[in-house]
Amino acid sequence: MSEIRYDGQVAIVTGAGGGLGRSHALELAKRGAKVVVNDLGGAVDGSGGSVSAAQAVVNEIEALGGEALAHGANVLEREQVEDMVAKTIEKWGRIDVLINNAGILRDKSFAKLEMSDWDLVTGVHLTGTANCTRAVWQIMRDQNYGRIVVTSSSSGMYGNFGQANYGAAKLGVVGLMNTLCLEGAKNNIHVNTLIPVAATRMTESLMPPEMLELLKPELVTPAVIYLASTEGPNRTVLSAGAGAYSRVVIQETEGVAFLEEDATAENIAANWGTIDDHSTLKELTAGNEHTMKCVQMASKIRS
Ligand code: NAI
């Protein structure tokens, strides 16, 4: 396998002043990319901010002989994101890679959740990802090249107590990916999703030291390097943590179709074995495939 390189490419990594984003930014730079290190520089809950976190990572990249630019844009603020993109184009003339990584937590059980924390957490993760993606989208279309990674979470895929806001936003970015893959295909724009688990300030109080020791952020970054590469996949959800990598897939069973007079809740219950038959699971790649499947099954039982 030849080395995956990013020579001549320009990458933006959001939330790269620490944790996973820092690791992604450093590795992209080591592999030849010019990197915009974005970070608001706030606390885990999103409060406060300073460009010094991003600048420290830029200093690290420069010390390794790489090229980087710090930007303190808050991904929620469209004007700031547009300014970051404009400064990137001004300096390097293109944007090949966007790693949407910035994120915060405001954990509370749903009963106790302040809806202002719902707005902020879904805002940073989902709208923030859309803001950054939208700001580079036309540039990537014009280039006929782009690689975008969105960062999801097991909380989005499977749920996690106290993370209704975070989990909803994290599955939201998968929905964003699904449509962007369809819309970006003709301009060679790939969009993929990362599901990381790593020891960072976001998780350090949640796990015992022996687990944190295994969960190095640097063991997640190879997944990003693969997902954002020229020869990398499209529309792929890749889980990565502690050196373990696996693909996450949304699938549906073949199911069963009834004639109108038999389409009842009782018949759904009576046929649950068939409806829930995992041996028939299949991945669909667009919403209209789902519509066509329903229509074809209905036609089949009528013919
Ligand atoms: P972290 O807290 O170390 O890094 C997040 C970075 O995003 C921080 O440097 C922060 O200043 C920045 N940020 C926050 N809000 C921002 C905003 N509005 N604009 C720009 N920058 C902002 O946490 P970590 O663990 O490195 O998280 C990175 C991503 O991975 C997040 O999206 C997180 O939700 C996700 N993730 C992490 C997991 C883990 O196990 N660490 C598990 C699942 C997902």
CATH number, domain at 92? 3.40.50.720
- The answer to whether residues 163 and 267 belong to one domain is no
Beta-carbon count within 10 A of 112 CB:
9
Total H helices, total E strands in the chain: 12, 8
- The answer to whether residues 166 and 259 belong to one domain is no
Indicate if ligand 1 lies below 6 Å from the C-beta of 120. Answer: no
Is 242's pLDDT higher than 90? yes
Q: Give residue 297 CA to ligand 1 midpoint distance, Å.
A: 44
Domains contained in the chain, number: 2
* 250 band by pLDDT with thresholds 50, 70 and 90: very high
Indicate if ligand 1 lies below 6 Å from the C-beta of 72. Answer: no
- The answer to whether residues 14 and 124 belong to one domain is yes
Q: Give residue 19 CA to ligand 1 midpoint distance, Å.
A: 7
Is 205's pLDDT higher than 90? no
Please indicate, yes or no, if residue 90 is contained in any of the structural domains.
yes
* 31 band by pLDDT with thresholds 50, 70 and 90: very high
Please indicate, yes or no, if residue 61 is contained in any of the structural domains.
yes
pLDDT in tens, 150-190: 999 999 999 999 999 999 999 999 999 999 999 999 999 99
Element (H, E) at 177: helix 164-184
Residues 35, 71: contact at Cβ < 8 Å?
no
Indicate if ligand 1 lies below 6 Å from the C-beta of 128. Answer: yes
Q: Over the chain, what is the mean pLDDT?
A: 97
Residue 192, token pair as written in the block: 């993929």
- The answer to whether residues 234 and 272 belong to one domain is no
Is 49's pLDDT higher than 90? no
Please indicate, yes or no, if residue 2 is contained in any of the structural domains.
no
**Quick one: which atom of ligand 1 is closest to the CA of 200?**
25
Residues 80, 74: contact at Cβ < 8 Å?
yes
Q: What is the mean pLDDT of residues 58-67?
A: 98
Please indicate, yes or no, if residue 211 is contained in any of the structural domains.
yes
- The answer to whether residues 242 and 190 belong to one domain is yes
Please indicate, yes or no, if residue 264 is contained in any of the structural domains.
yes
**Structural domain span for residue 273:** 251-302
- The answer to whether residues 290 and 194 belong to one domain is no
- The answer to whether residues 100 and 241 belong to one domain is yes
What is the residue with the minimal CA distance to atom 10 of ligand 1? 15
* SS3 label, residue 244: strand
**pLDDT at residue number 191:** 98
Indicate if ligand 1 lies below 6 Å from the C-beta of 169. Answer: no
Please state, in angstroms and as integers, the Cα–Cα distance from residue 226 to each residue in 72, 211, 215, 230, 236, following that order.
26, 25, 19, 9, 11
**pLDDT at residue number 37:** 98
Indicate if ligand 1 lies below 6 Å from the C-beta of 14. Answer: yes
* 74 band by pLDDT with thresholds 50, 70 and 90: very high
- The answer to whether residues 141 and 262 belong to one domain is no
- The answer to whether residues 82 and 118 belong to one domain is yes
Q: Give residue 258 CA to ligand 1 midpoint distance, Å.
A: 47
Alpha carbons 31 and 52: distance in angstroms, whole number: 24
Q: What is the mean pLDDT of residues 120-138?
A: 98
- The answer to whether residues 275 and 145 belong to one domain is no
Please indicate, yes or no, if residue 3 is contained in any of the structural domains.
no
- The answer to whether residues 26 and 73 belong to one domain is yes
Please indicate, yes or no, if residue 73 is contained in any of the structural domains.
yes
CA 25, distance to chain mean position in Å, is 15
- Which of 50-54, 128-132, 173-177 comes out lowest in average pLDDT? 50-54
Q: Give residue 290 CA to ligand 1 midpoint distance, Å.
A: 34
Q: What is the mean pLDDT of residues 205-232?
A: 96
Is 211's pLDDT higher than 90? yes
ipTM above 0.85, yes or no: yes
Edge-to-edge strands of the sheet including 189-197? 68-71, 34-38, 10-13, 97-100, 146-151, 189-197, 237-241, 244-248
Alpha carbons 160 and 107: distance in angstroms, whole number: 10
Indicate if ligand 1 lies below 6 Å from the C-beta of 103. Answer: yes
Catalytic residue numbers, as ranges: 166
Residues 169, 121: contact at Cβ < 8 Å?
yes
Share of the chain above pLDDT 90, in %: 95
Share of the chain above pLDDT 70, in %: 100
Residues 52, 86: contact at Cβ < 8 Å?
no
- The answer to whether residues 27 and 115 belong to one domain is yes
